[in-house]
Amino acid sequence: MSENTNEAVVVKASKTKLTPVFKMVKEAIEIYKNNFSKFLLMILCSFLVGIAMLVLFPLGLFIAGLHSIVLSIILGVISIAVIVLAIYFSLRLKMGQLLIIKYPEESFREVYKRTSGLVMKYLALSLLLGLITLGLTLLFLIPGLIFGVFFSLAIFAFLFEDYEGYSALKRSKELVKDYWWAVFGRSLFLGLIIFALQMIISLPMEYLGENSVASGIYGFFTGIVVSIISPIFLAYSYIIFRDLKKLKGESKIEKKKANNGLILGVSMVIIVLLVCTFLALFLSVIKKSLEAKGINSFNSTSNLEYPGSLENESQSFGEQFDWSSLTPEQKQELEKILNAQGINPASNSAVNSEDPSILENTNTDNYFEDYTNTSNVEEIK
């Protein structure tokens, strides 16, 4: 009796373990090989969508250069339509690669048809997952990592078990619970494989030249190769999902219909706010960088200072200002403005003024502003 009990314990313990990583890689490659033709068709269709974007975008720029209001309006409508269609077909093709694993016996056409009614749900879940993970990561790095692993199987819960929105996130967390480290370790292993592959691929780029034609061609073809083998990584993640599903058994999470329209709307608002905030911060950094280098708008008179030292009157104005860059008319005009302020440009001293401290009280920005308003700034430069 005790021997049977021990055997039962051993069997139970073995069932609680996920597939070892190297065995997972081998199985993922096997799934890839068995469905290679369908994966390849999905990837080629994705490239066609990308090529269509590359062709239409330069064409749009050409039409915009014609300075025609009618053509610009047409271009705007076409551009929006092309972007929407590209996103639509890209999402369908992305889901198609996962559904090939779910329905290995079906043809490419049959699998692709299954994606037609899932685009809005898939997009809503992807945005919800991405924003939650990004928000947690930006606010608190460690919680972002923790919940990123917990929610890593949400897409599989949606496509393989019909969970939607927040229910898919809860289902993913239910699967990963008690196996967080196992899932994290296998995901880390996959990440290291991808990183090593990228490093190997990028090695020839150092010898071809960063911006050379050869490096561009090489990068294009290596991109194709990486895309072709990418379903192996999807199959690897699917095996994690499959193992956990078997271990956890029936789910306790209720399958609720998600309000995908609301999710999309709120997500878009958040994305717009994030983009605007990022642009504002980026422009602020650029502005401060330019100001630190002394590169400011010439129309801003606050950056124009009297080119002589007011504390050292022995230093002449001419030594600080390049008069040779001015035409005789410009020199005469500038002298009038300086003389009107009681300043002699030749000696950098107050003249025709009863107040000897006029140099200290003179707003030098004013006469430079007067001058720049009456002269071509670029000519002074």
Which pLDDT score is estimated for 231? 93
C-alpha 98/C-alpha 160 separation (Å) is 9
Structure token digits, residue 334: 């500038």
Within the chain, residue ranges assigned H as helices are: 2-15, 21-34, 36-64, 69-102, 108-114, 119-139, 141-150, 154-161, 165-176, 180-202, 205-208, 213-248, 260-292, 317-320, 328-340, 358-361, 364-374, 377-380
Strands 343-344 and 349-350: antiparallel
pLDDT of residue 170: 92
Residue 368: per-residue pLDDT: 46
Position 64 scores a pLDDT of 57
| Under 8 Å between Cβ of 157 and 244 | no
Which residue type sits at 254?
E
- pLDDT in the model for residue 97: 93
Is residue 83 within 8 A of residue 91, CB to CB? The reply is: no
* pLDDT value, residue 371: 45
| Predicted pLDDT at 211 | 72
pLDDT at 370: 47
Determine the angle formed by the axes of helices 213-248 and 154-161, rounding to 10 degrees: 70
pLDDT at 1: 44
pLDDT in tens, the chain (381 residues): 444 444 444 444 444 788 899 999 999 999 999 999 999 999 998 888 878 777 766 666 666 555 667 777 777 777 778 888 888 998 999 999 999 999 999 999 999 999 988 999 999 999 999 888 888 888 778 888 899 999 999 999 999 999 998 899 999 999 999 999 999 999 999 999 988 888 888 787 777 776 777 777 888 788 888 889 999 999 999 999 999 999 988 888 888 887 778 888 887 888 888 788 888 888 888 877 777 765 554 444 444 444 444 444 444 444 455 556 667 777 777 777 777 666 665 554 444 444 444 444 444 444 444 444 444 444 443
The confidence score (pLDDT) of residue 344 equals: 62
pTM score of the predicted model: 0.66
Residues 6+ apart with CB under 8 A from 165: 121, 124, 125, 128, 256, 258, 259, 260, 263
Phi-psi region of 145 (alpha: psi -120 to 50; beta: other; left: phi over 0): alpha
Predicted pLDDT of residue 358: 45
